[in-house]
Structure 1
């Protein structure tokens, strides 16, 4: 057994020392819990071998003749892990060693893990990086929470209600940034490889930064543009939405003796402009196909998605989804040519369906992806072109009105800066009363809204949205009840081709094997993982634990609601498909995405295991 490593600390002087020390303790616990959860969920540790005595549990590690001891460990129906106490490792014949963070845990179980030694060391580095970044996040949130209480506290007992009534310019954006706590299943949920601590603070949404987004110029015949509305004039569209920036851009071109008509404006993420473009596209710059203009840009701030930014924090202007050639969480967050083409095409298809279906009773709407642009690589190399692209997405706040208010689902899992309890409990209290029965009632309304929207799209049209916590907004009515799902990000939306064609519709795929599938399994897997597991199941668990209420009450609600929605849709779905999908969702085992195995194998391709169906 190797010595348990000590993780690297972040640059503590960047934030208040006391807040950093408290954050360090909390971040260690979060990192340890999520890694332990992944080990059990992905069957890298065998939960059947746990020996539990009172509050303590023992797990023999046969390959290294040692034992792990857990205090306050519980494992739930979907492999969710709760850990309220300490973890210790007992090597045979040696003194026990405390296990306080994820890298230490991996060192204990290393002989049981797949991959090579260098893969494990790379994963340890990613976990340490995630931990250091989480410390920065948690330390900053303490001061930020104090500021929010001072600004909004007083008349309202609930943060969401106070924010809704305060006249804030863009409350959905504030909630996105406040809710940036990382993917609930990822052990490396805060990994940002390639950034210093200063850069993490300067670029990440959880620190509310203002970014200066440079405007480059790309030769018009070297880029492909796609519009949801069909044909369009990209330069005119950009000038309409960003007139001041377009004027400065044209003036910069004129100073270089260039005609604006020969070029297209291309916003770049500031990291990309400094660190990637000058090197990766040096040939294009040298040949005069790409111009990096001095002093031309626009101010923006990031959303829950690091690479998607909001110009001037506006509640109306389009969001900019920009490539960032960094490994964030687990993959490089670039913008593929496929996304820039298919985003607008899918938007057009979805808009037609929503019009035909009246939004499935008003339960579903979308955040449109109206315009995409990508560089045309001379070798048709999409892996290179994805570093020089942009996708323009509608602003979610544009859907708000006096009666409806968008809340990012991911923010519901963050603690309220007023009470320290999950924000979801505020919606429970506002809509139904702050008690267990209210939590069950709220969850039933939330689940009914989401499943009516997304099962209708899936069963009738074969469309599986990637509507996990980050990609979903829940629209609240005047009484804070959920009435509509607002879905965004169509980059990994999947469609069952035969079902779409049966509905009399078609979608021209960017390339065979992407987006549209003849097999139903990859489409169903997307719905199961994103919607049923990462969204609805996680919300059920959050509410059960927040109110100390037995989980089965929430699982029962989810199953009944799915049964009801299936029954409502039966007449509209081919009988064989209806029966097969009902069995798959309500009776058969579910696929479970294996994030830890993916990192150990160093792949961005999905790796799936299985889990018992929590609704069976």
Structure 2
């Protein structure tokens, strides 16, 4: 059998061959028998210019032998005929008429190679599912399709170029092809479990066990014993773990990953994060009723880790050096850790493997949101100051989308003015809309409009999307009813009614305070919010997760607000190590040419200082973890920051006057608890990890790191003596110690709902008190740390 290859069609070069094949009687199902060569050349040119379609020339031992068209299914199929998913790809195949008899098996080989090319990731198109719609009377191609794993969904009437046919709508997933007769014999390069090979699994277990020991020790759930200089031991059930580590301020354990060993009765055993958790279940306080759920979240986190390792092995993951000059969305997709303190931080219970590949942020794929029309009197659109519905729609949808959706409503005899347009996550549209909200769809309170035209990329927070089609278009955040890291990731229509007003209030505060401008600190406002409340779940006596499954909000895009020569980078990147073990933060410091101490001061001026000012001068606290800030960088140094995700995670912790629509954000607490917004969320949640990275990489000792933090606080106090202890004089960020609030303890106590969102403060769990590394009365202690090997 000859060697088969595919390459993009060159219209000028390939039109004669393709024309000859399409006008042969064997190609009558293409309905192009009377076409001219110029018409075929024009057709190929159109395909080459249309980003939704492509044309491919297939060669056999270098000789032109077959023709393939690939396209997005919605080019030919109406939403009422087929609900497309992210990763879907349409395909048409034409094999050149044989020059002579004796080529038995050639068409079969071409079919196998074409399907493989469309589905495989390494040197193919990487589709997750192929869609074809051959004429139902074309029995030879139906047989070939079946042999390749295609499943006929149903027959439809399909009209294209003035011709109507009865088509056998069929699909083929990677798994379908891999187990088909053709896939089993020809070029199967897409093993759905290729990311779960033993060596990748061992590396993922090593990383997760290292993190588990570090974070559980930090939270004082376990207590390793020192067995020598920088050598530690941990007994867990029948297992004994030994490792090299240093303990830095804030009881931050920096383990040398390669040194970690496990033995049982003196016999070496493989590392296994699930086994470790079972061994430590009693010490962790993990309830029997929830242990399986937590283990499942660990399994999902493990699978995500192996997937990124597999991508790295085939060269599909960027290095930290490459990220230094990459765009915001390339950096977003490169992140692998999520929240750095949580062990089970990629639970995503509800996603299948194909869902993971389509929608996980680290997959870096784009998708299209599914839109529904929600009856106006059963939904609520909230708009920020200066916004009206027309302006909102112009930002939320392209003109083509607005026209198409209005046309679909009008074509169904409905008045578009009677509805709001609500976007859904594709997973939500498939798993929740037609099931959980089936009565609402049936009675016409929700009208399914189909996919939008814009391509969106999922962000680290899973349910937030960045528009890749229209520059400057807002982020959109939607509900997603999967279990992930302690919560079902819904979005409350009731809570969001006030979200634009909350954003406007804090925007006014930030805009009129020159301290924020001096720090380069600004907001990405949530300007619009929409929720549907017409379902039966909103009429129950008790609240329920179903109330939070149909809602969306729109947030400003940072890119139009960048200055000349600035790069936008998610702050999570500062805690990222690539697959080679190189930290982004360390690479940025070296590339900046600045002294590490100077670089750190600039970062703290843009991040820590405005958060301290918000607390002390305004009694305002936010949730400032790595996913919630976008850094502005110039010359690889931090020069400013955008705060986002404000409406759900901002509070006013003092008595200051608030507008009626903003009163819900008030949470009166005492001074010690106010200070935890800096101690827990900034010191422990972000700076502790960054300090460990810079110390391990030999750029900045932990003692020097915290001395710089203290200097930034001193500078703020010197310039703002009147508010250095807060408006009520009860906040001391230089106190000797603070309450040690623990995140993993929350998830271990109840992995289904870590805290009561209505009363988060009373839900927190503490493990005594933690020494403050910037206390006034003590010089930061430089705890000994071994030379830590860099680990990915």
Shift of 1:339: 4.8
Select 2:444's aligned residue among 261, 274, 288: 288
Shift of 1:385: 2.6
Select 1:211's aligned residue among 353, 357, 367: 367
User: Which 5+ residue runs of structure 1 have no aligned equivalent?
Assistant: 1-10, 150-156, 164-170
C-alpha deviations, 1:57-99, integer Å up to 9, x for none?
23456xx6x5633121333323333332223254xxx454525
Measured at CA, do residues 41 and 490 of structure 1 come closer, stay the same or move farther in structure 2, by a change above 3 Å? same
Q: Secondary structure in 1 aligned to 2:269?
A: strand
TM-score, scaled to structure 1: 0.84
- Structure 2 distance, partners of 1:573, 1:57, is 41
| 1:431 aligns to 2:603 (yes or no) | no
Measured at CA, do residues 576 and 176 of structure 1 come closer, stay the same or move farther in structure 2, by a change above 3 Å? closer
Shift of 1:465: 1.9
| 1:273 aligns to 2:429 (yes or no) | yes
Measured at CA, do residues 374 and 260 of structure 1 come closer, stay the same or move farther in structure 2, by a change above 3 Å? same
Contact 2:568 2:630 in 1 (8 A): yes
| 1:183 aligns to 2:183 (yes or no) | no
C-alpha deviations, 1:528-550, integer Å up to 9, x for none?
33222222232222212122643
| 1:237 aligns to 2:392 (yes or no) | yes
Q: Secondary structure in 2 aligned to 1:598?
A: helix
| 1:327 aligns to 2:480 (yes or no) | no
- Structure 2 distance, partners of 1:314, 1:426, is 31
Contact 2:525 2:646 in 1 (8 A): no
- Partner of 1:6 in structure 2? none
- Partner of 1:8 in structure 2? none
- Structure 1 distance, partners of 2:747, 2:726, is 37
- Structure 1 distance, partners of 2:192, 2:697, is 30
- Structure 1 distance, partners of 2:532, 2:324, is 44
| 1:135 aligns to 2:306 (yes or no) | yes
- Partner of 2:200 in structure 1? 23
- Partner of 1:86 in structure 2? 260
- Partner of 1:74 in structure 2? 246
Measured at CA, do residues 519 and 71 of structure 1 come closer, stay the same or move farther in structure 2, by a change above 3 Å? closer
- Structure 1 distance, partners of 2:409, 2:674, is 46
| 1:604 aligns to 2:758 (yes or no) | no
- Structure 1 distance, partners of 2:202, 2:692, is 24
Select 2:210's aligned residue among 19, 28, 33: 33
- Structure 2 distance, partners of 1:38, 1:598, is 13
- Partner of 1:581 in structure 2? 731
C-alpha deviations, 1:218-271, integer Å up to 9, x for none?
0011111211216632x6521454221111111111121100000111110000
- Structure 1 distance, partners of 2:266, 2:205, is 22
Measured at CA, do residues 179 and 515 of structure 1 come closer, stay the same or move farther in structure 2, by a change above 3 Å? farther
The alignment yields a C-alpha RMSD, in angstroms, of 2.9
Q: Secondary structure in 2 aligned to 1:498?
A: coil
Q: Secondary structure in 2 aligned to 1:211?
A: coil
Q: Secondary structure in 2 aligned to 1:589?
A: strand
Measured at CA, do residues 308 and 334 of structure 1 come closer, stay the same or move farther in structure 2, by a change above 3 Å? same
Select 2:492's aligned residue among 332, 336, 339: 336
Select 2:383's aligned residue among 208, 215, 227: 227
TM-score, scaled to structure 2: 0.67
Contact 2:214 2:255 in 1 (8 A): no
- Structure 1 distance, partners of 2:447, 2:287, is 43
C-alpha deviations, 1:258-307, integer Å up to 9, x for none?
00000111110000000012222122222221112245554311122211
Contact 1:364 1:486 in 2 (8 A): yes
Q: Secondary structure in 2 aligned to 1:581?
A: coil
- Partner of 2:716 in structure 1? 565
Contact 2:464 2:477 in 1 (8 A): yes
C-alpha deviations, 1:496-532, integer Å up to 9, x for none?
353533xxx5463474xx5543545554433333222
Measured at CA, do residues 79 and 197 of structure 1 come closer, stay the same or move farther in structure 2, by a change above 3 Å? farther
Q: Secondary structure in 1 aligned to 2:249?
A: coil
Shift of 1:596: 4.1
- Partner of 2:691 in structure 1? 540
The number of residues matched between the two structures is 569
- Structure 1 distance, partners of 2:510, 2:748, is 38
Q: Secondary structure in 2 aligned to 1:225?
A: strand
Of structures 1 and 2, the one scoring higher in RCO (CA 8 A, sep 6+) is: 1
C-alpha deviations, 1:412-431, integer Å up to 9, x for none?
333468x7521112321232
| 1:594 aligns to 2:756 (yes or no) | no
Contact 2:616 2:724 in 1 (8 A): yes
- Partner of 1:508 in structure 2? 661
Q: Secondary structure in 2 aligned to 1:528?
A: helix
**Structure number, greater radius of gyration:** 2
- Structure 1 distance, partners of 2:461, 2:325, is 25
Q: Secondary structure in 2 aligned to 1:373?
A: strand
Q: Secondary structure in 2 aligned to 1:103?
A: helix
Contact 1:343 1:372 in 2 (8 A): yes
- Structure 2 distance, partners of 1:323, 1:144, is 33
Select 2:583's aligned residue among 397, 412, 422: 422
